[in-house]
Structure 1
Amino acid sequence: MASGVSVLKLSRYREINPGRVIAVLLGIFLSFVAQPAFAICQLIANGPYLQPQADAVRVWQASLQAGEVQIRYIGHSTFELETPGGVRIATDYNDSVRPFLPPTVATMNGAHTTHYSLAPDPSIEHLLYGWNREGGPMDHDLTVEDVRIRNIQTNIRGWDGETRRLGNSIFIFEIADLCIAHLGHLHHRLTKDDLARLGQIDVVFAAIDNSSTLRLDSLMDVLAGIGPTMVIPMHFHFAGALPAFMGRATEAGYRIVRAETPKLVISRSSLPVNPTVYIMMPGGT
């Protein structure tokens, strides 16, 4: 079995429909008239694309090409994303599992303390809470150098079993012509409006614990609705969770790839042909 997805060089076939055709054509147009070229994830327009200042200094790291994104699995629900411009993002940033270096951007969710920080590193430039600590909505649409970050709020269950409205966010990262979504501590199926706001997602980080987030039946329905090219499992600390998910994913037609390292460099040209579950073990830092 190949250790990464770099051997999978063909683009995934996508069902043609007018909405996606328009989105693709718009993406091609923007790639010529604006820099950086953000991915076009949305099928409906609910916010403008923010552009960096014309005189902004951009530093490109030699380790990543312009169309590449590095993903490192830190642990639990925390991934570190690195953009070609050197922006580093930590998802579900918390006080237990962290990247070695403070990120540029940290996203957090309100499930419990393994998904948010009570003492975030003061050098983090952008702290994005997935819930409003004072109640009500919390909407983000932020561009930092070459990445656009936005969120879609969902409800969550408290420890008492009661629903906490808008306690979780799905964060979407538009980087290097890729759309990457972190589902957070998702507790329910997505609505048609949620799916429309997500748009066409390439890579999904999904909690597969089959316990404290979604049961597998609901999770598979969520993934079928999103239709990503690649699913990267997270939050599989419960015994038997990973094998159970692998079985269901295989039944659903996903190819299973086991990574040899907790780090992946991906681009649009290296996306797999068929829907793929890419399993990385936590790598700490």
Structure 2
Amino acid sequence: MNAFRLTASLLTFLLAPLAAAWAQTERPSTCLAMAQATPGVIYASFATPTAASAEPVDITYAGHSTYIIETPAGVTIATDFSGAHGASPVPRVVTMNKAHGTHFTRNPDPAIEHVLPGWNPEGGPARHSLLVEDVYIRNVTTDIHRYGTMEPDANSIFIFEVAGLCIGHLGHLHHRLDDSDYAAIGRLDVVMVPVDGGLTLSLDGMSEIARRLSSSVILPMHRHSTPLSAFTSRMGGGFELDFREGRTITVALDNLPRRPTIVILDGV
């Protein structure tokens, strides 16, 4: 194989996840990276943030695995929504996962404009590609262990692209991610991570994922009785700890911490 063909083949391999994602989307993702599948590379966004991209996004811990994301345009999103947390005021968008009844509801409020299940009721992977005012929402499916068996594509990692930020919610993640998963997820500036260490992935596995994502802000969730130190100690000395008295963090592209920071909001 000559050098030209080798280069073309390499580019085809690296761009395949990106091309597949673009084919599903209403607009190109700004959070997907060309070489994300290769460990050790420097990830590059395809979008150049504008001045308007530095507008703030509020993220509020509502309970369990539910965070409320409020965009600069006022769009509210509730993650892993069961109705027990974050139901009032009614969010415009909810995402759900079906590992347990505490992560979804079969009877969402009809006033919710967009209900996005992380699984496909008709079988196969769920495919979400939705633009709601200033936020673009997409998903990457993972598998779930239920009743002693593995159920393919029953969980979704949701990614919210807003104000130049890439915000991810890992859902009820049950297994380690492979290179194709990281490529499909892309860059995450903020990531919400379950840290129960039992019902979801082990703490060793979850900390490995959180370290590889290299997000500026890590927001623990789904803790139950697990000591926070059991997660934070596994993250290593490269991560700062920031305990907050309130339940809301305001993030913007121009105020992300210089060092990766685990932010523990009140209630977590």
Contact 2:56 2:72 in 1 (8 A): yes
The answer to whether the aligner puts 1:71 opposite 2:56 as a matched pair is no
1:96: how far off?
2.2
Contact 1:209 1:236 in 2 (8 A): yes
* Structure 2 residue matching 1:269: 3-state secondary structure: coil
1:263: how far off?
0.8
Change (3 A) 1:44 1:151: farther
Within 2, Cα distance between the matches of 1:209 and 1:153?
20
Query: Structure 1: where are the runs of 5+ without partners?
Result: 1-18, 20-36, 46-64
TM-score (norm 1): 0.75
Match of 2:229 in 1: 243
Within 2, Cα distance between the matches of 1:262 and 1:38?
32
Match of 2:267 in 1: 282
1:144-223 superposed matches below 5 A: 144-158=132-146, 160-223=147-210
Q: 1:131 aligns with which of 119, 123, 131?
A: 119
Within 2, Cα distance between the matches of 1:115 and 1:144?
22
TM-score (norm 2): 0.80
* Structure 1 residue matching 2:101: 3-state secondary structure: coil
Query: Which structure ranks higher in relative contact order (CA pairs < 8 Å, sequence separation ≥ 6)?
Result: 1
1:222: how far off?
0.9
The answer to whether the aligner puts 1:101 opposite 2:89 as a matched pair is yes
Within 2, Cα distance between the matches of 1:217 and 1:98?
30
Q: Which amino acid aligns with 1:171?
A: F
Pairs aligned (count)? 228
Report percent identity of matched pairs: 44
Within 1, Cα distance between the matches of 2:54 and 2:90?
23
Q: Which amino acid aligns with 1:244?
A: A
Within 2, Cα distance between the matches of 1:137 and 1:210?
25
Contact 2:54 2:252 in 1 (8 A): no
Contact 1:38 1:174 in 2 (8 A): no
Change (3 A) 1:252 1:222: farther
1:257-276 superposed matches below 5 A: 257-276=242-261
* Structure 1 residue matching 2:232: 3-state secondary structure: helix
Match of 2:215 in 1: 228
Within 1, Cα distance between the matches of 2:86 and 2:248?
15
Contact 1:80 1:99 in 2 (8 A): no
Contact 2:75 2:92 in 1 (8 A): yes
Query: Structure 2: where are the runs of 5+ without partners?
Result: 1-10, 12-26, 36-52
Contact 1:39 1:177 in 2 (8 A): no
Change (3 A) 1:44 1:120: farther
1:119: how far off?
1.4
1:136: how far off?
1.1
* Structure 2 residue matching 1:193: 3-state secondary structure: helix
Within 1, Cα distance between the matches of 2:68 and 2:86?
9
1:174: how far off?
0.2
Match of 1:80 in 2: 68
Q: 1:254 aligns with which of 229, 233, 239?
A: 239
